[in-house]
Structure 1
Amino acid sequence: MTPASDDRGDRPAASDIPEFPPTLREVLQRPRWLGMLLLCLVVAGVFAWLGQWQLARAVDTDPPAPGVTEEVVPLAQVVEPGHYLAESSGGQRVETSGTWVPEDFIVVSGRFNGGVEGYWVTGQLRVAERTSIAVALGWAPTREQADAAAAELTDAGAADAAITGRLIDDEGVTVPPRAAPYELDRMSPAALLSRWHDTEQLDVYRPYLASAQAPAGLEHIDSPAPEEKSTVNWLNIFYAAEWVIFAGFAFYLWYRLARDAWERELEEFDDAASSES
């Protein structure tokens, strides 16, 4: 007679089953999870440093004094040819002098003065040897008036000029409409440069100058002082808060993974206890 098989042969021995299931604290104190915690501390430290770096740049501790843009300063003191205009210098009133290039008085459309759309007459002012700046000289309500003023300036030849005006960033370029492929509707020194004469090895200022005084036949350009900006950069504060959240998430991820491992051990303990019984 074949002895009855013992269905307990595949079950773990009673000596292999711990008397009590592990606690979450015991699992968290194991070397594996302590190592993971150390890694999370390093990651959180990096995130905290990035948050502090963003926060340090969120508040301007040395903002420009009120009305500083209305003080007329030399152009060379504010920006150099080929360099971008600093944010704090946008709208700064400057003065410079030079000689007009007579062939380069160009009309730019889509310019508003007091809410009325019209045209600017612009020119290339040679402020030094092989160095030029784009200048918006004045505004006209119609294209005919703008073209007439540009023609008069061209006829005056390479005249010397002393200009005081407001320094403004390049507006960039756009694709011209098919109906008027050669018309400029943005005040862009880069676009004007492509139409200027005698430009070989020429250094050009990236911002342009809006003249405070218009020549005969044109109206003064409406160029108010820039609004005073807040000393707090809220976007940087938002980024700093994001880094803090990322640092907290690193610790949450460590805890969640360790808790999942602990819960699996509890299930295995319950299964083993059920098999033993």
Structure 2
Amino acid sequence: MLRPRWLGVLALCLVVAGVFAWLGQWQLSRAVDMQPLPEGATEQVQPIDEVVQPGEYLPEPLVGQRVTVTGGFVADDFVVVSSRYNDGVEGYWVTGQFRLATAEDPTSIAVAVGWAATEEEAFAALEQLSADAAARDADAAALAVTGRLISDEGPVPPSPSVDPFTQTRMSPAALLSRWSDIEDLEVYRPYLVAETASGTLDDITTRPPDLGSGVNWLNIFYAAEWAVFAGFAFYMWYRLSRDAWEKEVEDIEDAAAA
């Protein structure tokens, strides 16, 4: 172990273990929220651009944050999303592309407008909302929508036995593929659940987010893993050097026997 070759391997292991230790410390620094949101912070309505920017992921502490947006709905871009529960009752959401009036570049956010108990009611409301949006005067004052920001649920392809356009997850990425006029369009990753439904739809029930304990146990687990990896680097040095020593001893014994 004191030979230059194995001292060099030990130095390399020290570097590797140091990198692993730094990664473990980084994970620990992210495991505990040292500046948690004060109680009730998510219930204070804020402009959306003060919470998240288009294309960015919504930070976990801000999931459920109440925000307000101003602009208008795009007439042809209302979509029904199925398998949505409201107070334990399964039904449908009517969603729309809401084009922000406050952004310099074309920017939209997916908005869950309201809930319907049946598919027929949902599509009837969709047609009425589309007609209202189309009839809206372009010079009219911008609409203001207040609601909660929720993280993208991720797209899921429908089963082969249903309409290929059936949507069961609230995914702005999937909705974007069905929207019109999307060239150079910036889109928010989270979606907005409107507090007040439009037309004949029912309000979607939402609740304040649980603040939790402020400790991310998954990050703590990752930090422990990095510590194990750092120890394993030294074990590898010990194991390799011991194997080399055992081989030399074996060669000496073989030579003596010969």
The sequence identity of aligned pairs, in percent, is 60
Give the number of the structure whose alpha-carbon radius of gyration is greater: 1
Is the Cα contact below 8 Å between 1:165 and 1:211 reproduced in 2?
A: yes
* Corresponding position of 2:44: 71
- Flag the 1:206–1:263 CA change in 2: closer, same or farther, 3 A: closer
Unmatched 5+ stretches in structure 2 = none
Is the Cα contact below 8 Å between 1:102 and 1:158 reproduced in 2?
A: no
Is the Cα contact below 8 Å between 2:129 and 2:199 reproduced in 1?
A: no
* Corresponding position of 2:155: 173
1:250 aligns with 2:233: yes
Q: Please state how far the C-alpha of 1:261 moved relative to its aligned partner.
A: 4.8
Alignment partners' CA distance in 2, 1:53 and 1:219: 46
- Flag the 1:254–1:68 CA change in 2: closer, same or farther, 3 A: same
* Corresponding position of 1:4: none
- Flag the 1:94–1:268 CA change in 2: closer, same or farther, 3 A: closer
Is the Cα contact below 8 Å between 1:100 and 1:158 reproduced in 2?
A: no
SS in 1 for 2:42: helix
Alignment partners' CA distance in 1, 2:5 and 2:186: 63
- Flag the 1:262–1:151 CA change in 2: closer, same or farther, 3 A: closer
Instruction: Identify the match of residue 238 of structure 1 among 212, 216, 221.
Output: 221
- Flag the 1:253–1:144 CA change in 2: closer, same or farther, 3 A: closer
TM-score (norm 2): 0.82
Is the Cα contact below 8 Å between 1:101 and 1:158 reproduced in 2?
A: no
Q: Describe the superposition over 1:103-131 as per-residue Cα deviations: whole angstroms up to 9, x where unpaired.
A: 33322211110111101111222222632
> How do 1:197-276 and structure 2 match up within 5 A?
197-263=180-246
SS in 1 for 2:19: helix
- Flag the 1:270–1:173 CA change in 2: closer, same or farther, 3 A: closer
SS in 2 for 1:102: coil
Q: Please state how far the C-alpha of 1:148 moved relative to its aligned partner.
A: 2.0
SS in 1 for 2:206: coil
Instruction: Identify the match of residue 90 of structure 2 among 113, 117, 122.
Output: 117
Alignment partners' CA distance in 1, 2:234 and 2:185: 57
The amino acid that maps onto 1:252 is Y
Unmatched 5+ stretches in structure 1 = 1-27
The amino acid that maps onto 1:249 is F
Instruction: Identify the match of residue 148 of structure 1 among 124, 133, 140.
Output: 124
TM-score (norm 1): 0.77
Q: CA RMSD for the aligned pairs?
A: 2.6
